């Protein structure tokens, strides 16, 4: 029962993350770079910091934790956060060119697989004495493979959509739809986004041990990863503000309050996935396989819910019944991949 409860919490976080682009669509009269970095302030700085504080027991502080923890692990956690930040940038662009459903499917599918595999592999390079490769059991690898099969099926549905719709219909569904460009960006986004889980692996010990509730133990590492990602995104977005002369967006008082509200909502929904992941893993400690696969499960569920939103937002409008059937088959495979490891 605890395992099912943990998976349910992760699923709720995935649903929230997949919904974060809905409030973004409500932002008015701001350029992409302006709203992206403002929602990032909430998603990658403010809320992760508040979350990290939950891992601090009475009488202690985050400053104490970060000065006492292994400095190499802290550095690597932030470095992989910086690399993840590149994935975050291109992730946003993949939504622009492919839409919420297909863009998230390709990017998050790649992220799920590589994020799960890269963590133990890279940890083995630095800490072979801990035998991190032992995490990659048959059940874990099978879970990753089934996830990739589900993503591939959804990718096929996306290709069928691209081939069947006219240019005008594509633009009606997704304004800047560009399948070849979007696929390349989404694959890059997925590869770099996988660094998030690698950062979490390096930061797994950054907590107060038994003094920290198991549900909150990964939250300090989550903050360090998102801190690194914020730096990457801020550099790029401020560069785009300068290049496109859009610094004035932040001074548009008529829409400032409205846009800040929706940026806060988008940031909170986005952060919910990793807050839910931390809470959910607290209930999965009895299953090492699910602990290793938890990131992959989160990404798979993100894809499932993003496609639900894609259908609601009519991004698949005009597609044939065959295309929709392929899409539903891919979603079904992803749902199976979430529960398959429990049966082995």
pLDDT tens per residue, range 105-132: 677 777 777 778 887 888 888 888 778 8
What is residue 228's predicted lDDT score, i.e. its pLDDT? 96
What is residue 321's predicted lDDT score, i.e. its pLDDT? 81
- What DSSP line would sit under 97-110, residue for residue? HHHHHHHHHHHHHH
Residue 169 has pLDDT above 70, yes or no: no
What is residue 270's predicted lDDT score, i.e. its pLDDT? 93
Averaged over 144-157, what is the pLDDT? 82
* Sequence-separated (6 or more) residues with CB below 8 Å from residue 67: none
What is residue 122's predicted lDDT score, i.e. its pLDDT? 81
* Sequence-separated (6 or more) residues with CB below 8 Å from residue 109: 147, 148, 150, 151, 152, 154, 155, 190, 299, 300, 303
Confidence of residue 39 (pLDDT cuts 50, 70, 90): very high
- Rounded CA-CA distance 232/152 in Å is 29
What is residue 341's predicted lDDT score, i.e. its pLDDT? 61
Cα 190 to chain centroid, rounded: 9
Instruction: Work out the number of other CB atoms within 10 angstroms of the CB of residue 332.
Output: 13
Confidence of residue 269 (pLDDT cuts 50, 70, 90): very high
Averaged over 313-318, what is the pLDDT? 74
Tokens of 33: 């770079």
- Rounded CA-CA distance 37/138 in Å is 40
Who has greater pLDDT, 161 or 213?
A: 213
Tens-digit pLDDT profile for residues 221-236: 999 999 999 999 999 9
Measured CA distances, 341 to 144, 288, 289, 292, 336 (Å):
10, 10, 7, 11, 9
**Under 8 Å between Cβ of 206 and 220:** yes
The pTM is what?
0.82
Least confident residue range of 57-61, 265-269, 274-278, 300-304 = 300-304
**What is the domain partition of the chain in residue ranges?**
2-343
Tokens of 257: 């309050």
- Rounded CA-CA distance 104/223 in Å is 23
Residue 322 has pLDDT above 90, yes or no: no
Q: DSSP H helical segments within the chain, as ranges?
A: 2-18, 21-24, 32-40, 47-53, 62-68, 71-126, 138-164, 167-173, 179-193, 195-202, 219-243, 253-281, 288-312, 321-339
Determine what percent of the chain is predicted with pLDDT higher than 70.
Answer: 90
Measured CA distances, 282 to 76, 131, 215, 291 (Å):
24, 23, 4, 9
Tens-digit pLDDT profile for residues 254-264: 999 999 999 99
- What DSSP line would sit under 5-29, residue for residue? HHHHHHHHHHHHHHTTHHHHTT--S
Q: Which of 39-43, 152-156, 196-200 has the highest mean pLDDT?
A: 39-43
- Specify whether the backbone of 29 is left (phi greater than 0), alpha (psi in -120 to 50) or beta: left
Between vectors from CA 82 to CA 61 and to CA 214, what angle results, nearest 5°?
Answer: 40
Who has greater pLDDT, 2 or 233?
A: 233
Confidence of residue 100 (pLDDT cuts 50, 70, 90): low
């Amino acid at each position: 029962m605890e395992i099912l409860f943990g998976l349910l919490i992760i699923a709720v976080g995935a649903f929230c993350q997949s919904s974060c682009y809905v409030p973004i669509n409500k932002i008015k009269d701001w350029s992409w770079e302006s709203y992206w970095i403002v929602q990032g302030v909430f998603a990658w700085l403010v809320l992760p910091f508040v979350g990290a504080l939950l891992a601090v027991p009475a009488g202690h502080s985050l400053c104490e934790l970060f000065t006492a923890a292994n400095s190499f692990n802290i550095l690597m956690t932030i470095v992989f956060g910086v690399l993840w930040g590149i994935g975050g940038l291109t992730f946003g662009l993949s939504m622009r060119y492919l839409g919420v459903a297909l863009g998230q499917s390709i990017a998050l599918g790649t992220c799920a697989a590589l994020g799960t595999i890269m963590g133990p592999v890279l940890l083995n390079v630095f800490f072979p004495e801990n035998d991190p490769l032992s995490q990659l059991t048959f059940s874990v690898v099978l879970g990753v493979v089934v996830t990739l099969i589900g993503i591939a099926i959804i990718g096929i549905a996306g290709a069928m959509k691209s081939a069947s719709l006219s240019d005008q219909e594509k633009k009606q569904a997704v304004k800047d739809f560009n399948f070849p460009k979007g696929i390349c960006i989404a694959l890059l986004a997925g590869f770099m986004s996988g660094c998030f889980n690698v950062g979490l692996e390096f930061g797994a010990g950054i907590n107060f041990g038994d003094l920290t509730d198991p549900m909150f133990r990964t939250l300090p590492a989550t903050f360090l990863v998102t801190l690194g990602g914020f730096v990457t995104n801020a550099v790029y977005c401020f560069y785009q503000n300068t290049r496109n002369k859009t610094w004035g967006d932040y001074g548009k008082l008529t829409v400032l309050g409205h846009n800040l509200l929706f940026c806060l909502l988008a940031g909170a929904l986005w952060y919910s996935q990793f807050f839910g992941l931390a809470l959910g893993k607290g209930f999965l400690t009895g299953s090492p396989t699910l602990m290793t696969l938890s990131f992959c499960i989160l990404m798979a569920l993100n894809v499932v819910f993003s496609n639900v939103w894609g259908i609601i937002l009519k991004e698949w409008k005009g597609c044939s019944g065959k295309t929709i059937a392929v899409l539903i088959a891919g979603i079904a495979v992803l749902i199976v991949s979430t529960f398959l490891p429990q049966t082995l």
